[in-house]
Structure 1
Amino acid sequence: MVKNRMQKNIKKNKFNFAIIYGSTRKNRLGIRFVNYLEKQIKLKGHNPYIVDPLKAKLPLLDKRFLEYKKSNVPKNIKKIHNILQKSNAFIVVSAEYNHMPPPALINIFNYYYSEFNRKPSCVCTYSSGDFAGIRVQSPLRAMLSQLGCPPIKFGMFQPNVSNFFNEKSIPSNKKDAEIRFNVFFDELLWYTKKFNS
């Protein structure tokens, strides 16, 4: 009863979710996963915003957002700031590079700070093989905690990403994907509601 009442109250609110993606590689596969998450969040009645380093083309960090004069902030840096600032929660989508997050993903985090504060987050990882990028989850969780956006315990972890999602981001097993999405997203939504109450 209490859980059902909580879920009804959550549905009354529309939240903004930033999906922060880490890959800049050609022929990247994780974007299929990202697009699936975006679609599912929209179906839940919320607003997803993708932060894509390939499109943003952020240079290696020289000056953080707060170090710029307001009139001199480059458009690409300002655009990501605006997305992060208005977001109520964050979903980080990452592959694993030598047990660590991709450099482009870390570079995004290094540009910003207060935008993340006191907002929930979660980690979703993937791989082309069988292990779903599990080793990158711990360093990402540590980084998110340091930024002030504590990660929830759940996430969606996708092995064999190119076989599971086709080029249109349609999963080969829709029921399985939906169940796994709902497990982490319902939890993230619960925390988002609490952080915004």
Structure 2
Amino acid sequence: MPLVMPVILGSVRAERQGLRVARFLIARLEARGIEAPLVDPAALGLPLLDRMYKEYAPGTAPPALEDLAALYRRSDAFVVVSAEYNHSIPPALSNTLAYFLEEYFWRPSAICCYSAGQYGGVRAAMQLRAMMAELGASSIPSLLPIPRVGKTLDAEGGIQEDWLAKAAGRFLDELVWYAEALRAKRDGGTPS
């Protein structure tokens, strides 16, 4: 059974560069035989969080949340693609992530951050590590920061700088290792 790893995009801006990153990662994951659906907060159109998914009576959550919950329950890992807004996590990403809790449990996450500048969004990544751990999907040790994203990837997610292929390969190798290990442990049961 192939691994399932949703790629959760963090930005909803009209000129967002994160789509380049998401397309790049989805192509790399799919080349490995991994199902990698895009979770795009702009397409979901979720309102600011008022109630978590689990706080709705069964069958009464908005359809976008029901679909997302079903996807997350069959997922083996999560890839989070984040820009850095004011040295922090984009609000749309925080809102999208916060709708769920148990659906993340016992699954690893991997953080790919990016920026137009030279630091690649790492300040947001540090905050995301804490958030993902609290949600139950602790991040793998490696990060994939992509500096100067507009020069590093083209609009379709094609590599423009050679270093990225090797860095992404190591990053995804690590994520797959954790995803396979935790899936095997989940199949045997989880702590209650």
> Shorter-normalised TM-score: what interval?
over 0.9
Q: Deviations over 1:46-97 (max 9, x none)?
A: 1101111000000001111111122221111112112211110011110111
User: Counterparts of 1:63 and 1:163 in 2: how far apart (Å)?
Assistant: 40
Taking structure 1 as the reference length, the TM-score comes to 0.90
Aligned partner of 2:107 in structure 1 is 119
Shift of 1:19: 0.8
Count of residue correspondences? 184
1:135 and 2:123 aligned:
yes
Aligned partner of 1:182 in structure 2 is 169
**Unmatched runs of 5 consecutive residues or more in structure 2:** 185-192
CA RMSD of aligned residues (A): 1.1
Q: Which has the higher helix share?
A: 1
1:168 and 2:156 aligned:
yes
Aligned partner of 1:194 in structure 2 is 181
Q: Identity of paired residues, percent?
A: 33
User: Counterparts of 1:168 and 1:94 in 2: how far apart (Å)?
Assistant: 17
Q: Deviations over 1:109-131 (max 9, x none)?
A: 21100000011111110001111
Taking structure 2 as the reference length, the TM-score comes to 0.92
Which of 135, 154, 159 matches 2:147? Answer: 159
Q: How does 1:30-179 map to 2 (within 5 A)?
A: 30-173=18-161, 175-179=162-166
Shift of 1:164: 1.3
**Unmatched runs of 5 consecutive residues or more in structure 1:** 1-12
